[in-house]
Amino acid sequence: MQKLKKKLNGLRRSPRSIVVVLFAGLIVVGSGYTAVSAAVSPDRQTNYSADQVEYGKKLFLSNCASCHGKNAEGTANGPSLIGVGAASVDFQVSTGRMPGAASGPQLQVKPVQFTEEEITAMAAFVASLGVGPSIPDEAYLQANGNPTKGGELFRINCAMCHNAAGAGGALTEGKFAPSLDHSSPKVIYEAMVTGPQNMPVFNDANISPEEKNDIITYLVYLRNSASVGGEELGGLGPVAEGLVAWFGLLGIIIAITIWLGAKSN
């Protein structure tokens, strides 16, 4: 017993004990901070490894630097990526918008060119460049929120561009807000929080993560619910209905009137 006490005392006073104390302190403060900040910004991704950042940098240099600059500082062809966050990269690359193709008013969705691993690596690299929105926490992508609140928020913040049923809509000069029918909850969340291209930013202070989940819940409900009235005509409203009325309804009836007036055999 005495020998153990002496050994511990020795350890306590050794220079290495400082390292231990510091390490312990870091763990306490770190986990305590994580626990606290989980309430404040719960979408913080777990940290990326240095390997991922390095791999991401390699991918960035060979695929992105020509437009975004070697240090992602931006060029005439592409904006700076410093501070755009991992969420931006994940959104743009996982939907195929990036790498950007020929110039036009707006980036289009194209076939995705990178694997998930590669996308994560590039996201890690960009996240390392500056603080920005991170990839959302799974908890807010479950579509288990309040669809009524989600619907209200959607109609006020989103429907004017994306249409009340999420069918998409026109912006000026050839730009457009795309249809949301095939967007995953993660992509929807990331779009809201990063504000890609001309879409405004809906940060977590404006629409909280729970509210974003509500919006996602609403959209997923729309997508999955039975169409009670029948064929939905693309959710485009009275224009589509008018075309069907003229060419479908009236067309069929005129065909019948021609049969009606024709002489029988």
Partner 1 sequence: MARNRIKRRKTKLSDKSKEVELSQATGLAVVKSDAVKDPGIEPHRIRMTDKSPKHEKNAARQVALLFTLSMLGSAFALWAYFAFPINEDLITVRENTMYLGIGITLGLLGIGIGAIHWAKTLMPDQEVAEDRHPISSPEDKRAAAIEVINLANQESGFTRRKLIRRTLYGALALFPLPGIIIFGDLGPNPGNSLRHTAWKAGTRLARDPFGTPIKASDVTIGSVYHVVPEGLVPGTEGYLEEKAKAAVLLVRVEPDKLIEKPERKNWSYQGIVAYSKICTHVGCPVALYEQHTHHLLCPCHQSTFDLVDGCKVIFGPAARPLPQLPIYVDDEGYLRAQSDFHEPVGPSFWDRSVKSE
Partner 2 sequence: MSNATAKQKKNGFLAGTANYVDERLGVAGVLKEFGRKVFPDHWSFMLGEVALYSFLVLLLSGTFLTFFFQPSMTEVVYDGVYAPLKGAHMSIAYASSLDITFEVRGGLLMRQVHHWSALLFVAAAGLHMLRVFFTGAFRKPREMNWVVGFVLFILGMGAGFTGYSLPDDLLSGNGLRIIDGMIKGIPFIGVWISSLLFGGEFPGTEIVGRLYSLHIMLIPALILVFLAIHLVMLVLHKHTHYSGAGRKDTNVVGYPLMPVYVAKAGGFFFIVFGVIMLISSFFTINPIWNYGGYDPSPVSAGTQPDWYIGWLDGALRLAPTGMEFMIGDVTVSMNILIPLAVSLIFLALVAVYPFIENWITGDKREHHVLDRPRNAPVRTAIGAAGVTFYAILWAGASTDLIATQFRMSLNQVLTAMQISLIVLPIVAFIVTKRICLALQRKDREIALHGRETGRIVRLPHGEYIEVHEPLDKYDLYKLVDFKDYQPTLARPNAAGKITVRARIRAALSKFYFKDRVSPVTQAEIDEAMHHAEEIEQQVQKAIELTK
**Interacting residues toward partner 2 by CB under 8 A:** 105, 147-148, 150-152, 155-156, 159-165, 167-174, 176-177, 218, 221-222, 227-233, 235-239, 241-242, 244-246, 248-250, 252-254, 256-258, 260-262
C-alpha closest to that of 182 among 141, 237, 223: 223
Of 89 and 219, which has the nearer Cβ to partner 2? 219
CA gap 15, 38 in Å, rounded: 35
Of 29 and 252, which has the nearer Cβ to partner 2? 252
Of 163 and 183, which has the nearer Cβ to partner 1? 163
Distance of CA 120 to CAs 84, 132, 170, Å? 15, 15, 32
Binding site for partner 1 (CB under 8 A): 152, 156-157, 160-161, 169, 171-173, 175, 195, 197-203, 205-206, 225-230, 259-260, 263-265
65 contact choice in partner 1, partner 2, none (CB below 5 to 8 Å, kind-dependent)? none
Q: Which 3 state secondary structure label does DSSP give 191? A: helix
Tokens matching residue 12: 């306590």
46 contact choice in partner 2, partner 1, none (CB below 5 to 8 Å, kind-dependent)? none
Hunting for tokens 């989600």 — which residue is that? 150
CA gap 85, 134 in Å, rounded: 6
Rounded to whole angstroms, the maximal C-alpha distance in the chain is: 121
51 contact choice in partner 1, partner 2, none (CB below 5 to 8 Å, kind-dependent)? none
